[in-house]
Structures are given as C-alpha cells and as structure tokens.
C-alpha cells in the first residue's frame, strides 16, 4: 500500500516509524515531515492545511491511505476532501471533528449519551458569565469554545481570576472567535489519563492509554505546554479500567455521533480525569496525542497499517490489537524559552544517544542547516525508551538524553513520577 502521513511533529515521526515496519506497506510519504520522518518516509513539502495540494498529491501518486496526524487538517476538512476524491483517509469528517473543534458540541454529546463529565453551562454574554461565576464561587474552570492551541482553558483558583479570563476571552478577544463563546464548568480533581480508541464509525478498539505531563516544569509547575513527556501503561489505569472506559466514554459517543448522521472514523482521544467518584471526561481530541503516540508506537506489537485499513473499511468489529507489556517512557527535549518565545537554529548533536539499547528518538521541531541538525520549533525531540520496568525505561531514556549535546535545549527530569510514586 502507498501511504501518506500528514504532519511534521514527533507524533508523525512515530507514526511513520511504525508504518514503515508494516508488511503491507510499499511506499510511505510524509507531508511536510521533518529530518526524522525523512529516515523512514519520503518528505513532501506540502503544508498540512493545503488540503487541495494534499488531495492533488494523493491522486497523482495513487495513495491508498492518508493518515492526518493533527487536528488542523481534520477540522479544515481533509477527510471530506479525500473522500470526495475516492481516497481512504483515517480521520473524521469536519462534522465529526467538532468533537475537538467545539467544547459545547462535546458537552452536548456527553449529555445526550450520558457520559460522565464536569457539570457545565454555555455563555455568549460576558455579564451572564460573570454572574454565574460569582454565584458558583471558585475553583471553577473557564474554557473557550473553539480551538485555542492549548491556551483556551483557565482553571481559576479565585472568582477574580475567573472574571479576568472571561474578560480576556470574551471582551478583549485574546483568542479571536474561539473565545466569544465560553463553557464554564465544575472543577474536578485527580490524575489525568489519555485514552485512545481507533474507530470505524460503529465499532472501536482500544488503542492504548498513556499519561502526559502538560506543565513545563518538574513537579507539574509552570505554564501549560503541548506535553513534555509521557509514559505507558499508566499503573493507575489498568486493563479492566481501560475496558470499562471504552464502554463508558467511547462506544456511547460513537452511537450518538451515528444517531446524528455524523459517524466518527479515526482516532478518538479521551482526556480523562480519575476523580474520587470515578473517571470523568475532560475533553475529546480527534487524533493521537503528542507525545503519547510516541510511547504507544513503541508498545504496539500489531501492524498499525492493517488496523488503519480496517478502520477505513468499517471492519473493526472483529479486530484486536496486541501490546507489549514492557513500559515505555518518552522525554520531550524543548528549546530554551518554550512554551514562550524560544531560541531557533541552535545546533544539536545527538552523539551516541541513538545507540543506547532500547532507545528510539523521534524528531519534531528539527531541521537540517548546511547538513547539521538544528532546532526549528519549540518541542524538538522525544527521547523514548522501553524496558522491562518503568524505572529502567526512565533511566534509559535519561541516559540517552544525557548523551545528547544541545546546550540550548532542556527537558523535565521527572517524567513518569506518578508511576514511581
Ligand atoms: P483541555 O484543553 O480541555 O484539555 O484542558 C486543559 C487542562 O485543563 C486539562 O488537561 C486539565 O488539567 C485542566 N482542566 C480542564 N477541565 C478541567 C476541569 N473541569 N477541572 C479541572 N481541571 C480541568
Ligand atoms: N499531549 C496532549 C495532546 O496531544 O493534546
């Protein structure tokens, strides 16, 4: 099969790395890719949002299957456009991608399908939102309805902080149209888990669970990021809990999406909080997580391509995936300044890091300049390791991190701390 992966982050490198091992694969492309994907796929310089360009490339190159890595092309309609061109695309339609594109939409699905989630209300008027916050008190969570690249959620510890967020989102328009409608919800507590399911519109199979580390600093402090590291499997979310979560969160969502005439095909990512009263849905995403994908691809024993084809063909009902029990840990190395303004074009020397046994390094914001590796983005590498236990996997990942010479990079030193606590 001829396959096109869309994206250029660590997630897409991991997807290409795994797909390249498939006996079903004849040729793999990645648009736009990065120096890491170039090692297992052919990079093509097409922007992830150039839907027409991607469709034309897929048609001209007789692509059998397209796998979009991130949500921007999905929300922009890549699956609909590929469908129209008769090319299989393992991702949701624009209508189904609303599960990530709109918080209100997700909350309505939760209510209709009786999915456990924080109690909520929708506001389009700042005064009404402020009145509600004063009435409810703090802590309380303020969310912009639309996509906001991780900047649309404020967990407000005080009413004043909540009111400031309402002012920023609704009146100052700091997030543009995304923040004109708000969801204000109950503040939940507990560890967070990322649950993944591969869906064919009707059926779903478990695609692994992992724990991300969203804050930039050790001990989960500092600003939110795209994710600074992940590990799998999370010991606080065992197989039985995962099986139950498939029935409580994923299958009712698929049924409700079907009932609405917008079936969900692709990867459904449930962000769950394990609260004292059980798991609750924090959000849905319509794609793999990054860096969760990187550690899950190390643990997946089955052929990914076969599973993606089954999802596109509506044949997941009788499908199962096999996993390696050995845990995997992924440490994100980021450029100094990230998640704020960060350095660029700084030299990276991977040294002997890739020769450490059990280690796999995935590229994200890297580039080649005059043949030398430099950083081009904020999150730059995911240094992953797999071993017989989580402690060893983590030690191995940090051994590789320490073999990398990159004075302008940094990472968290405590990835996986909850599993070891
Ligand atoms: P989201 O963009 O919806 O994933 O939210 C970003 C982060 O905000 C989540 O990962 C949680 O840590 C936090 N968060 C979101 N909703 C809630 C909630 N209802 N209660 C507590 N924390 C929340
Ligand atoms: N790591 C979380 C995400 O990809 O949204």
* Domain CATH for 412: 3.90.600.10
Q: Can you tell me the mean pLDDT for 387-415?
A: 98
- Measured from the Cβ of residue 420, the count of other Cβ atoms closer than 10 Å reads 12
Taken in order 382, 387, 393, 398, is the CA torsion positive or negative? negative
Q: Which pLDDT score, from 0 to 100, does residue 71 have?
A: 94
Dihedral, 323, 199, 41, 35 alpha carbons, nearest 10: -80
- How many angstroms is it from 153 CA to the middle of ligand 1? 7
Ligand 1 contact, 118 CB (< 6 A): yes
Is 96 domain-assigned? no
Number of alpha carbons in the 13 Å side-chain half-sphere of residue 368: 9
Mean pLDDT across the chain, nearest whole number? 97
Q: How much is the average pLDDT of 266-284? A: 98
- The total of structural domains in the chain comes to 4
Alpha carbon distance 337, 365 (integer Å): 14
Q: Is the CB of 286 under 6 A from ligand 1?
A: no
Q: Pick from 282, 287, 418 the residue to mutate for probing ligand 1's pocket: most ligand atoms within 8 Å of its CB.
A: 282
- Boundary residue ending a domain (261, 284, 312): 312
Q: What percent of the chain has pLDDT over 70?
A: 100
Measured from the Cα of 188, ligand 1's closest atom is: 20
Ligand nearest the Cα atom of residue 212: 2
Ligand 2 pocket check for 212: Cβ under 6 Å: yes
Residue among 72, 149, 192, 194 to mutate when testing ligand 2 (max atoms within 8 A of CB): 194
CB contact at 8 A, 99 and 109: yes
Q: How far apart are CA 293 and CA 209, in angstroms?
A: 10
> 229 CB less than 6 Å from ligand 2?
no
Q: 83 and 138: one domain?
A: no
Sign of torsion, CA 396 269 14 297? Answer: positive
Indicate whether 150 pLDDT > 80: no
For residues 176 and 200, membership in a common domain is answered with no
Assess if residue 57 is contained within a domain: yes
State how far the alpha carbon of 419 is from the alpha carbons of 228, 243, 388, in Å: 16, 20, 14
Q: How many CB atoms lie within 10 A of CB 224?
A: 14
At 200, the pLDDT band (50, 70, 90 cuts) reads: very high
142 CA distance to ligand 1 middle (Å) = 9
Does residue 303 share a domain with residue 228? yes
**Would you list the DSSP string of 225-263?**
-S-SEEEES-TTS-HHHHHHHIIIIIHHHHHHHHHTT--
Residues in CB range of 246: below 8 A, 6 or more apart: 195, 197, 204, 206
Residues 20 and 56 in one domain: yes
Verify that 233 and 217 share a domain, yes or no. yes
Asked whether residue 207 falls in the same domain as residue 307, the answer is yes
Q: Average the pLDDT over 263-278 and give the result.
A: 98
Query: Do 197 and 271 touch, CB atoms closer than 8 A?
Result: no
Residue 164 clears pLDDT 90, i.e. is over it: yes
- Per residue in 113-132, pLDDT (tens digit) is 999 999 999 999 999 999 99
Is residue 388 within 8 Å of residue 347, measured between CB atoms?
A: no
Q: How far is the CA of 231 from the centre of ligand 1 (A)?
A: 19
- What pLDDT shows up at residue 15? 99
Q: Which two tokens stand for residue 277?
A: 């009263």
Bond from prior residue into 139 cis (ω within 30 degrees of 0): yes
Cβ(140) – ligand 1 distance below 6 Å: no
pLDDT at 147: 83
- Write out the two tokens for 341: 């303004």
In the predicted structure, residue 68 carries a pLDDT above the cut 80: yes
Q: Of 186, 192, 198, 189, which is closest to residue 91 (Cα–Cα)?
A: 198
Could you tell me how far CA 377 lies from the centroid of its own chain? 17
Could you tell me if 8 and 67 lie in one domain?
A: yes
Contact 206, 193 (CB under 8 A): no
Residue 44 has pLDDT above 90, yes or no: yes
Contact between 80 and 93 under an 8 Å Cβ cutoff? The reply is yes
Whether 224 and 300 map to the same domain: the answer is yes
Is position 321 within any domain?
A: no
Domain-embedded: residue 253: yes
How far, in Å, CA of 229 to CA of 211, rounded?
8
State the DSSP code for 405.
B
Residue 272 has pLDDT above 90, yes or no: yes
pLDDT band at residue 270 under the 50/70/90 scheme: very high
With a 6 Å cutoff on the Cβ, whether 100 touches ligand 2 is no
The angle formed by the CA atoms of residues 76, 230 and 290, to the nearest 5 degrees, is 15
**pLDDT of 151:** 81
For residues 137-163, average pLDDT: 92
- Looking at residue 209, its pLDDT comes to 98
Mean pLDDT of 6-14: 98
* Residue of 152, 209, 212 best suited for mutating to test ligand 2, as the one with most atoms within 8 Å of CB: 212
pLDDT of 187 strictly over 80: yes
In a domain, 289, yes or no: yes
Quick check: bond before 85 cis, omega within 30?
no
280 and 300, same structural domain? yes
Find the 197 Cα to ligand 2 centroid distance in Å: 14
Q: What pLDDT, on the 0 to 100 scale, is given for residue 176?
A: 87
With DSSP H G I counted as helix, E B as strand and the rest as coil, what are the percentages for the chain, rounded to 5? Answer: 35, 30, 40
Supply the pLDDT for residue 28.
98
Q: Residue 220 sits in which domain range?
A: 192-312
Given the structure tokens 């594109």, which residue do they identify? 101
User: For the chain, what is the radius of gyration of the CA atoms?
Assistant: 21
pLDDT at 415: 98
**Is residue 329 scored above 80 in pLDDT?**
yes
Give the pLDDT of residue 148: 83
The CA-based dihedral angle spanning residues 209, 320, 307, 379, taken in that order and rounded to the nearest 10 degrees: 10
DSSP 313: H
Backbone angles phi, psi at 334, to 5 degrees: -120, 160
Q: How far is the CA of 271 from the centre of ligand 1 (A)?
A: 9
Give the pTM. Answer: 0.96
Ligand 1 centre to CA of 316 (Å) is 31
Same domain, 239 and 147: no
């Amino acid at each position: 099969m001829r396959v096109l992966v869309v994206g250029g982050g660590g997630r897409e490198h991991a997807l290409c790395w795994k797909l390249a091992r498939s006996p079903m694969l004849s040729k793999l492309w990645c648009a736009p890719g990065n120096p890491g994907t170039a090692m297992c796929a052919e990079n093509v310089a097409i922007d992830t949002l150039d839907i027409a360009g991607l469709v034309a490339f897929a048609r001209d190159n007789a692509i059998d299957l397209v796998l979009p890595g991130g949500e921007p092309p999905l929300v922009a309609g890549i699956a609909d456009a590929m469908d129209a061109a008769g090319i299989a695309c393992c991702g949701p339609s624009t209508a189904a991608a609303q599960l990530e594109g709109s918080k209100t939409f997700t909350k309505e699905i939760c209510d209709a399908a009786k999915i456990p989630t924080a109690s909520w209300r929708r506001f389009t008027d700042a005064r009404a939102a402020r009145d509600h916050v004063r009435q409810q008190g703090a802590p309380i969570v303020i969310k912009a309805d639309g996509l906001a690249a991780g900047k649309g959620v404020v967990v407000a510890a005080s009413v004043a902080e909540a009111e400031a967020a309402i002012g920023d989102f609704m009146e100052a328009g700091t997030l543009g149209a995304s923040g004109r409608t708000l969801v204000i919800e109950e503040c939940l507590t507990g560890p967070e888990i990322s649950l993944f399911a591969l869906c064919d519109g009707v059926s779903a199979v478990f695609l692994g669970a992992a724990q991300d580390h969203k804050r930039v600093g050790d001990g989960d402090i500092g600003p939110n990021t795209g994710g600074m590291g992940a590990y799998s499997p999370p010991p606080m979310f065992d197989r039985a809990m995962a099986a139950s979560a498939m029935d409580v969160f994923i299958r009712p969502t698929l049924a409700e999406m079907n009932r609405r005439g917008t079936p969900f095909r692709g990867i459904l990512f449930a962000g769950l909080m394990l609260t004292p009263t059980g798991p609750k849905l924090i959000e849905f995403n319509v794609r793999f997580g990054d860096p969760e994908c990187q550690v899950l691809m190390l643990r997946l024993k089955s052929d990914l391509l076969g599973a993606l084809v089954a999802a596109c063909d509506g044949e997941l009902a009788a499908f199962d995936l096999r996993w390696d029990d050995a845990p995997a840990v992924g440490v994100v190395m980021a450029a100094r300044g990230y998640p704020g303004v960060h350095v660029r074009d700084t030299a990276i020397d991977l040294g002997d890091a890739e020769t450490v046994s059990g280690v796999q390094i995935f590229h994200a914001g890297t580039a080649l300049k005059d043949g030398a590796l430099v950083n081009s983005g904020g999150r730059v590498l995911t240094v992953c390791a797999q071993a017989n236990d989580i402690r060893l996997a983590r030690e191995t990942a940090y051994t590789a991190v320490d073999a990398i010479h990159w004075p302008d990079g940094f990472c968290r030193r405590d990835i996986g701390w909850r599993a070891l606590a």
